[in-house]
């Protein structure tokens, strides 16, 4: 049976032959596999390509010191790591490019992202790490993609408003649920391409059906981006806390970011080991009065200023 390969296959094959570095070779072959249609005529080709991919990955691992590969790992930075999950052409890459300084590949063809690509998104006085990933549903990347999603702090589920977003969201959530990714994981449903949506976006229907925070955005017109930034901060569950030395003004330039519910003692341990002998602290912000003296187990609130006494 003939394979009937699309033009995208030959473009991807050319790219695969042109690159030589192990990391680029693996990424190019993953992109090539994604262009092969699934039918009986391509079974042998897809099996051959998967075998080649397996060998390339093994070779890339052997080249790493100690036999470990960091090819797909994304070290966490900023207040929290936010990963984007969505099907092909859902607008993930455009969203990351608009929100951060990352040089993502934004294209009309299905698989433009083949490796994790991170950038930093500013929100007021802190930053969140945004990680663009290959689309869900690509057999060559789904294995490691699920691991990156599982390790992140927050997932943005990105769907296209112009393509039956309720159905697409259901399929996406179903796929990630099969991987066990969404069990207890914080998530925001992002209804993208608002500029291409005809009529009112079905936000209330999406909220009631899937029971999560929903934000409609457009990377093209910048609509909804501030709402999305705020949603990421609020759903992430982090708070900002500022430090103050006795007799001095507080440093309000670089806050510490800690989980909601963090205590004075927890913050002290984060700042300096010498604070293990902490006696008490004084709080400005959520305190009943400025400079209120609190105990070590006092729960901090967002924008609190803490003065430690040892």
Average predicted confidence (pLDDT) for the chain: 85
DSSP code for 21: S
Torsional sign, CA 158, 164, 169, 174: negative
* pLDDT for res 27: 74
- Answer yes or no: are the C-beta atoms of 36 and 45 closer than 8 Å: yes
* Total-model pTM: 0.77
> Residue 183 above 60 pLDDT?
yes
Gap between the Cα atoms of 132 and 84, Å rounded: 6
Terminal-to-terminal C-alpha distance of the chain: 78
Residue range 53-104, pLDDT digits in tens: 777 766 665 555 444 445 677 889 999 999 999 998 899 999 999 999 766 6
Residue with tokens 């998104």: 121
| CA angle (129, 130, 133) in 5-degree steps | 135
CA torsion angle for 262, 264, 267, 272 (degrees, to 10)? -160
Q: Which residues contact 200 (CB under 8 A, 6 or more apart)?
A: none
Tokens of 65: 């010191």
In the sheet with 213-216, reading across from the earlier edge strand, the strands are 117-123, 126-132, 81-86, 154-160, 186-192, 213-216
In the sheet with 238-244, reading across from the earlier edge strand, the strands are 256-259, 238-244, 304-309, 280-284, 292-294
Tokens of 22: 């192990």
DSSP code for 189: E
DSSP code for 245: -
Domain limits of the chain? 7-67, 81-236, 238-309
Residue range 93-106, pLDDT digits in tens: 999 999 997 666 55
* pLDDT for res 254: 86
* pLDDT for res 200: 81
Mean pLDDT lowest among 53-62, 72-81, 133-142, 264-273: 53-62
Mean pLDDT lowest among 132-146, 181-195, 205-219, 221-235: 132-146
3 CB-side CA count, 13 A: 13
The CATH class of the 238-309 domain is alpha beta
CATH of 81-236, one of 1.10.287.3510, 3.40.50.2300, 3.40.50.300, 3.40.50.720: 3.40.50.300
**Residue whose C-alpha is closest to residue 93's, from 156, 186, 179:** 156
Give the residue-averaged pLDDT of 175-196. Answer: 93
DSSP 64-115: SGGG---SS-----BS-EEEEEE-TTSSHHHHHHHHSS------SSS----S
């Amino acid at each position: 049976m003939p394979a009937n390969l699309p033009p995208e296959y030959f473009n991807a094959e050319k790219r695969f032959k042109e690159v030589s570095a192990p990391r680029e070779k693996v990424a190019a072959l993953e992109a090539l596999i994604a262009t092969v249609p699934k039918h009986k005529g391509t079974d042998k080709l897809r099996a051959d390509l998967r075998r080649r991919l397996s060998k390339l990955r093994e070779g890339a691992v052997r080249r790493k010191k100690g036999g470990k590969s960091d090819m797909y790992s994304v070290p966490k930075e900023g207040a929290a790591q936010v990963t984007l999950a969505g099907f092909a052409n859902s607008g993930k890459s455009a969203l990351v490019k608009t929100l951060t300084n990352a040089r993502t590949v934004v294209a009309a063809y299905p698989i433009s992202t083949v490796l994790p690509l991170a950038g930093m998104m500013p929100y007021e006085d802190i930053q969140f790490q945004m990680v663009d990933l290959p689309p869900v549903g690509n057999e060559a990347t789904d294995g490691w993609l699920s691991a990156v999603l599982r390790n992140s702090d927050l997932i943005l589920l990105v769907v296209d408003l112009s393509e039956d977003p309720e159905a697409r969201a259901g399929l996406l959530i179903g796929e990630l649920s099969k991987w066990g990714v969404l069990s207890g994981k914080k998530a925001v449903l992002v209804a993208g391409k608002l500029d291409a949506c005809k009529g009112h976006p079905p936000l209330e229907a999406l909220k009631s059906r899937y029971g999560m925070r929903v934000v409609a955005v457009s990377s093209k017109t910048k609509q909804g981006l501030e709402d999305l930034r705020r949603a990421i901060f609020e759903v992430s569950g982090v708070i900002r806390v500022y430090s103050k030395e006795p007799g001095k003004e507080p440093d309000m330039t670089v806050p510490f970011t800690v989980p909601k519910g963090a205590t004075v003692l927890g913050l002290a341990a984060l700042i300096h080991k010498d604070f293990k002998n902490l006696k008490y602290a004084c709080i400005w912000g959520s305190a009943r009065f400025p400079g209120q003296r609190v105990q070590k187990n006092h729960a901090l609130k967002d924008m609190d200023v803490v003065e430690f006494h040892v």
